[in-house]
């Protein structure tokens, strides 16, 4: 089977001065993970590692560099899905963890459950030895300054289409040498969100989906709209009947027409064909091509 890897670093009105950092973060993840896939790494391991790298990069709204909620706290959501078994793990509203996607995988593999949230997820993380960080370890000067800028603004809304701010949910989709598919998504959510708000990212079929019989997808954008149309599952289902890229485009059309929303998708179908589409001003994404070269885009 062809070995495939595609990654996104968010879709929205990414400020021009942040373009190069987005390209660099996506490229680094591609160039680090793809050689491991070539040497036999599983798709599940690949998407976890790719997302870990993006969670560590303060450029993105995931892990280090995430937006602050209305209380000035960082709450993180993530999901990981195994296309071979449809098993998934997800976490929501967790704090003080650099790699929520890895905690999501532990939930999938070491518990009888698929999703843990808030204090329960925190307790599980501590029980299995996850490092708990001080809040400052995830906070960047950029996000702190932005929080102070918007915190007292009565006109600010978490959903302002195409305002000059990043919405940098991250995600990865991979196909390994056995033909197995996997997807993962991780986010800090929207700026000044209500405490406890959960968007699409950790929701199966919305923020990500993977099924070896159809395809695998990760999404980014305005979560409330993405959840309405179960965007990832919608695109995967369409991959059964049309080319991968067309499935992604039709999924985004549904997001806009029925969900009244904005966002982007990346994916891979069962043939190893890539899919990507978005209706925001920008999306940061990249893939490895047939010549083993990273192709990275932000428009």
Reply yes or no on whether the pLDDT at 299 is more than 70. yes
Q: Which residues contact 177 (CB under 8 A, 6 or more apart)?
A: 1, 3, 37, 40
> Residue 53 in 3-state DSSP?
helix
Out of 32, 140, 169, 219, pick the active-site residue.
169
pLDDT digits (tens, 9 = 90+) for 220-266: 999 999 999 999 999 999 999 999 999 999 999 999 999 999 999 99
> Between vectors from CA 179 to CA 178 and to CA 182, what angle results, nearest 5°?
110
> pTM here?
0.94
Reply yes or no on whether the pLDDT at 152 is more than 90. no
pLDDT digits (tens, 9 = 90+) for 163-209: 555 457 999 999 999 999 999 999 998 888 889 999 999 999 999 99
Residue 11 contacts residue 282 (beta carbons within 8 Å): yes
Using left for φ > 0, alpha for ψ between -120 and 50, and beta otherwise, residue 226 falls in alpha
CATH code, 82: 3.60.20.30
Helix, strand, coil: what percent of the chain each, to 5? 35, 25, 40
- Give how many domains the chain has, as a whole number: 1
Using pLDDT thresholds of 50, 70 and 90, give the confidence band for residue 282: very high
Reply yes or no on whether the pLDDT at 102 is more than 50. yes
Residues of the domain holding 61: 4-297
> Residue 253 in 3-state DSSP?
helix
pLDDT digits (tens, 9 = 90+) for 121-142: 999 999 999 998 888 888 777 7
Active site (annotated) includes residue 169: yes
């Amino acid at each position: 089977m062809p070995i495939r890897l595609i990654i996104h670093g968010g879709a929205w009105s990414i400020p021009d001065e942040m373009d190069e950092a987005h390209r660099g973060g996506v490229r680094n993840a591609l160039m680090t993970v793809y050689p491991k896939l070539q040497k036999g790494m599983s798709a599940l391991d690949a998407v976890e590692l790719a997302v870990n790298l993006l969670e560590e990069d303060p450029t993105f709204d995931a892990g280090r560099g995430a937006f602050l909620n209305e209380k000035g706290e960082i709450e993180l959501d993530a999901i990981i899905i195994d296309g071979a078994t449809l098993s998934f793990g997800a976490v929501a509203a967790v704090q003080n963890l650099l790699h929520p996607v890895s905690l999501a995988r532990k939930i999938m593999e070491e518990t009888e459950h698929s999703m843990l949230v808030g204090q329960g997820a925190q307790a599980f993380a501590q029980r299995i030895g996850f490092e708990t960080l001080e809040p400052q370890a995830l906070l960047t000067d950029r996000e702190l300054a932005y929080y102070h800028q918007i915190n007292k603004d009565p006109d600010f809304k978490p959903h302002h289409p195409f305002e000059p701010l990043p919405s940098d949910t991250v995600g990865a989709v991979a196909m390994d040498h056995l033909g197995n598919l996997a997807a993962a998504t991780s986010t800090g959510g929207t700026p000044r969100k209500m405490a406890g708000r959960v968007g699409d990212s950790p929701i199966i079929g919305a923020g990500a989906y993977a099924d070896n019989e159809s395809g695998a997808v990760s999404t980014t954008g305005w979560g409330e709209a993405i959840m309405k149309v179960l965007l990832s599952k919608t695109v995967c289902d369409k991959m059964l009947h049309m080319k991968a890229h067309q499935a992604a485009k039709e999924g985004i059309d549904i997001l806009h027409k029925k969900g009244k929303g904005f966002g982007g998708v990346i994916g891979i179908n069962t043939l190893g064909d890539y899919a990507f589409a978005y209706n925001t001003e920008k999306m940061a994404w990249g893939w490895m091509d047939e010549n083993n070269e990273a192709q990275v885009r932000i428009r």
